Chains A and B, each alone.
Chain A
Amino acid sequence: MRLRLCAATLAGKVAARLARLCGRRGSSLPGVVALRLYPGVLARLVSQVRTGVIIVTGTNGKTTTSNMIARMLASAGFRVINNREGANLITGVTAAFVRAADLFGRIHCDYAVLEVDEASFPRVAAQTNPRLVVVTNFFRDQLDRYGELDTTISFIRRTLAERPHISLVLNADDPLVAQLARYVRNTKFYGLAPRSAGAPRGATSREARFCPFCGHSLEYTGYHYSQLGIYQCTGCGFARPRPDVEAAAAAVAGQVMRSRVRWEEKVISVVLPTQGVYNLYNALAAFTTGMVLGIDPATAAASLGHYTPATGRLEGFLYRGKPVYLNLVKNPAGFNESLNLLFAGRGTGDVFIAINDNDADGHDISWLWDVDFEVLAGVKDKLSFVCSGKRGAEMAVRLKYAGVPPRKITVVDNLRAAIDCTLNGRGGAAYFLATYTALWPVEKLLRRRVTRTALENAADV
């Protein structure tokens, strides 16, 4: 058995090296190869993790949240393995372990922090026996791959019901997530405090209209975004649980966001070097996980303050003095949040949108019609759009029907040309939005043209 483990590990490492030599990122390939040689490789490597496996799943925020947790644990002095590139199927998870193992198939680490695709969760959980599971949110995503959201959630529910010893960290504000608490013994909730002012925006892509337990409609007294908010069921007693960790809505100052986080009877100030309410949620998920694992709150808050976004999670760059942002878009909820950032910028802007429909993006791009592009009609004079990727023309159609004047929209099939066209636009800022498979090539091409901004230093402002 030891021989098979070594052989599989070695083969995986060779595959990784070859992939790199060929110029491919190969973040899953080592896992594919190792699993082919020895299907038990993942369970064998995982069993060597000293303290425990933490899984982060849900639709949006997996990569950011798991990277925040990994960083927090590392800054508390633990050795951590994580699948940092967002390769979150079982092959990607296996690849992360193969990379961390030595040539004898040995692993030396305290924690493994794994972001896991929600549809792969049952399989990965069965092989890695997680001690703690963080669930961020559930939104519609790539339906043609996974069937409807209901099905995905029901698989996760069943997996948890079979493993009630798992500790959960759940988003209290998402009813689809909060319902999971009924299936395990220990849960900690995080959430955003109700906003005192400001009516919620119309939520066309809202998922949860009905109680997951009794089917009656859910009543909201406030929304944060999409179906995240303060809700209660009109039929049974199901309602937003009282969060164990709760943040007051953040104040944005320049490129950082400040929030006061209440936890037990204490309050701690958290400064995040990033923007967007969804990133506040990610930070809360990570902070809550840190509290469950007994990390010192000051250490946890400080490590969040030094968080560096992963590729395409609202990365900031500079091009000839002009701010440039890159963000991944993959479903209506996330896209709506990205659009909100376009409004946050007060000046003019050039917006690049690349839509691909490869396997990893989902073949069906009809979800673009569930994104609230209609809000752009209000700022149409300030923004110009360049549509690219395999389905760039389709994106142009969507913008046109949302009320953006066609003269403000250009379709440029070639990514390189589209990027140059956007960077050299007249706007005061450039925004790059791309689906998963367009993200890497866009990032690579951008990097050659821009410099990364020192967002980290901004945290100390």
Chain B
Amino acid sequence: MLTVCHLYPDLLNLYGDRGNIIAFVRRCQWRGIPVRVREVGIGEPVDFGAVDFVFLGGGSDREQTLMAEDLLRRKDELQAAIEDGLVMLAICGGYQLLGRYYRTLQGETIPGLGLLDFYTRAGEKRLIGDIAVEAELGGRTVRLVGFENHAGQTFLGNIRPFGRVLAGYGNNGQDGTEGARYKNVFCSYLHGPILPKNTALTDYLIGRALARRGQDGILCPLDDTFEERACAVILRRLRLGR
């Protein structure tokens, strides 16, 4: 039984990111892997040690502040679970929050959880549009597509990026990096949402979660015709057609 933890679904319901939960759960179910979802709101208890996959999305400013306060109280627990190999996906605002700080245009510094070594600063121009990324997952190079929409520009410290930008902006529109990756934590700016279309990533996350529970993590293939077709539309548009 895999347990999926959806953090703050009430607060962070922007940009259809709950599709990431749907995709993870469905792809387990289609393979007969038992899975359940725990939705965790502000102040509600959660044992990160007993969870197999955590999803953290982004919200508007006010909601982001509320979730930051709550997560700060759970920081030590979360950190221990991450070091222990917890599989986690953090998107956009959730991604930024795991870093050291966010600096606003006015120069104000909002501290992050400081779990990962990067920082974000607000840019003058919002980075919006279709994006394609190349990432390495378990020794396999895959292309992922999505939609990015962020004002923050993230700069990585001593941590590796999730992928390399093929088209679009990525972390900051300058250094060609997209997202961040530490152990089994995957951070990205890709909305769309990211998991339903990019089945290689979803399956990789499921595999890692199973492996952490001592199972072999090898998944039977599914028919991904629609997903591949949906990705191909964006790749063609970005002139990356195969």
Please report A residues at the B interface, Cβ cutoff 8 Å: 140, 143-144, 147-150, 204-205, 209-210, 215, 363-370, 390-391, 393-394, 396-398, 400-402, 406, 409, 411
- B114 contacts the other chain (Cβ, under 8 Å)? no
* Given contacts A363-B130, A366-B15, A401-B19, A150 and B60 within 8 Å (CB-CB): yes
Q: Are A144 and B193 in contact (CB under 8 A)?
A: no
- In the bound complex, how far is the Cα of B22 from the Cα of A366, in angstroms? 13
- B192 contacts the other chain (Cβ, under 8 Å)? yes
Closest to B228 in A: A393
- B182 contacts the other chain (Cβ, under 8 Å)? no
- In the bound complex, how far is the Cα of B147 from the Cα of A391, in angstroms? 13
* Given contacts A143-B149, A204-B13, A401 and B230 within 8 Å (CB-CB): no
Q: Are B196 and A397 in contact (CB under 8 A)?
A: yes
* Given contacts A393-B233, A394-B233, A411-B229, A401 and B16 within 8 Å (CB-CB): no
Q: Are B18 and A397 in contact (CB under 8 A)?
A: no
Q: Are A150 and B62 in contact (CB under 8 A)?
A: yes
Please report B residues at the A interface, Cβ cutoff 8 Å: 10-11, 13-19, 22-23, 26, 60-62, 126, 128-130, 147, 149, 191-193, 196-197, 223, 225-227, 229-230, 232-233
10 cross-chain CB contacts under 8 A: A215-B62, A363-B130, A364-B191, A366-B15, A366-B17, A366-B193, A393-B226, A393-B229, A397-B226, A397-B227
* Given contacts A150-B60, A204-B13, A366 and B19 within 8 Å (CB-CB): yes
- In the bound complex, how far is the Cα of B10 from the Cα of A210, in angstroms? 11
- In the bound complex, how far is the Cα of B229 from the Cα of A409, in angstroms? 13
- In the bound complex, how far is the Cα of B2 from the Cα of A326, in angstroms? 42
Q: Are B16 and A366 in contact (CB under 8 A)?
A: yes
> What is the CB-to-nearest-CB distance from B45 to chain A, in angstroms, rounded to a whole number?
19
Closest to A209 in B: B10
- In the bound complex, how far is the Cα of B26 from the Cα of A362, in angstroms? 28
> What is the CB-to-nearest-CB distance from A75 to chain B, in angstroms, rounded to a whole number?
42
> What is the CB-to-nearest-CB distance from A207 to chain B, in angstroms, rounded to a whole number?
9
Q: Are A400 and B226 in contact (CB under 8 A)?
A: yes
A370 contact set on B, CB distance < 8 A: 13, 16, 18
Closest to A373 in B: B22
B149 contact set on A, CB distance < 8 A: 143-144, 364
Q: Are A398 and B15 in contact (CB under 8 A)?
A: no
Closest to A205 in B: B13
Contact partner, B14, options A143, A210, A397, Cβ 8 Å: A143
A390 contact set on B, CB distance < 8 A: 233
> What is the CB-to-nearest-CB distance from B23 to chain A, in angstroms, rounded to a whole number?
6
Given contacts A364-B149, A370-B13, A411-B229, 6 further A-B contacts (CB under 8 A): A144-B147, A363-B130, A364-B128, A369-B18, A369-B22, A390-B233
- In the bound complex, how far is the Cα of B26 from the Cα of A366, in angstroms? 18
Closest to A374 in B: B22
- In the bound complex, how far is the Cα of B92 from the Cα of A144, in angstroms? 14
> What is the CB-to-nearest-CB distance from A318 to chain B, in angstroms, rounded to a whole number?
32
With contacts defined as CB atoms under 8 Å apart, how many contacts are there between chain A and chain B in the complex?
Answer: 86
Contact partner, A148, options B14, B17, B128, B232, Cβ 8 Å: B14
Q: Which of B17, B129, B223, B225 has its CB near the most chain A CB atoms (within 10 A)?
A: B225
A391 contact set on B, CB distance < 8 A: 230, 233
B229 contact set on A, CB distance < 8 A: 393, 396, 411
Q: Which of B26, B60, B191, B226 has its CB near the most chain A CB atoms (within 10 A)?
A: B226
B13 contact set on A, CB distance < 8 A: 204-205, 370
B223 contact set on A, CB distance < 8 A: 406
A402 contact set on B, CB distance < 8 A: 22
Q: Are A394 and B197 in contact (CB under 8 A)?
A: yes
A409 contact set on B, CB distance < 8 A: 226
- In the bound complex, how far is the Cα of B230 from the Cα of A393, in angstroms? 5
Can you list the 6 inter-chain pairs with the closest CB atoms, starting with the nearest? A369-B16, A369-B19, A366-B16, A393-B229, A393-B230, A396-B226
Closest to A387 in B: B226
A365 contact set on B, CB distance < 8 A: 147
> What is the CB-to-nearest-CB distance from B147 to chain A, in angstroms, rounded to a whole number?
5
> What is the CB-to-nearest-CB distance from B118 to chain A, in angstroms, rounded to a whole number?
24
Q: Are B233 and A363 in contact (CB under 8 A)?
A: no
* Given contacts A396-B226, A398-B196, A411-B229, A364 and B15 within 8 Å (CB-CB): yes
> What is the CB-to-nearest-CB distance from B230 to chain A, in angstroms, rounded to a whole number?
4
> What is the CB-to-nearest-CB distance from B68 to chain A, in angstroms, rounded to a whole number?
15
A144 contact set on B, CB distance < 8 A: 128, 147, 149
> What is the CB-to-nearest-CB distance from B213 to chain A, in angstroms, rounded to a whole number?
24
> What is the CB-to-nearest-CB distance from B11 to chain A, in angstroms, rounded to a whole number?
8
A149 contact set on B, CB distance < 8 A: 60
B129 contact set on A, CB distance < 8 A: 363
> What is the CB-to-nearest-CB distance from B96 to chain A, in angstroms, rounded to a whole number?
15
A406 contact set on B, CB distance < 8 A: 223, 225-226
B60 contact set on A, CB distance < 8 A: 148-150
Q: Are B197 and A366 in contact (CB under 8 A)?
A: no
- In the bound complex, how far is the Cα of B10 from the Cα of A205, in angstroms? 10
Contact partner, B193, options A147, A148, A204, A369, Cβ 8 Å: A369
A397 contact set on B, CB distance < 8 A: 196-197, 226-227, 230
Closest to A409 in B: B226
- In the bound complex, how far is the Cα of B61 from the Cα of A58, in angstroms? 22
Q: Which of A148, A149, A391, A397 has its CB near the most chain B CB atoms (within 10 A)?
A: A397
Q: Are A204 and B147 in contact (CB under 8 A)?
A: no
- In the bound complex, how far is the Cα of B149 from the Cα of A201, in angstroms? 31
Closest to A364 in B: B147
B197 contact set on A, CB distance < 8 A: 394, 397
Q: Which of B129, B130, B233 has its CB near the most chain A CB atoms (within 10 A)?
A: B233
Q: Which of B16, B128, B130 has its CB near the most chain A CB atoms (within 10 A)?
A: B16
* Given contacts A209-B10, A215-B62, A363-B128, A143 and B19 within 8 Å (CB-CB): no
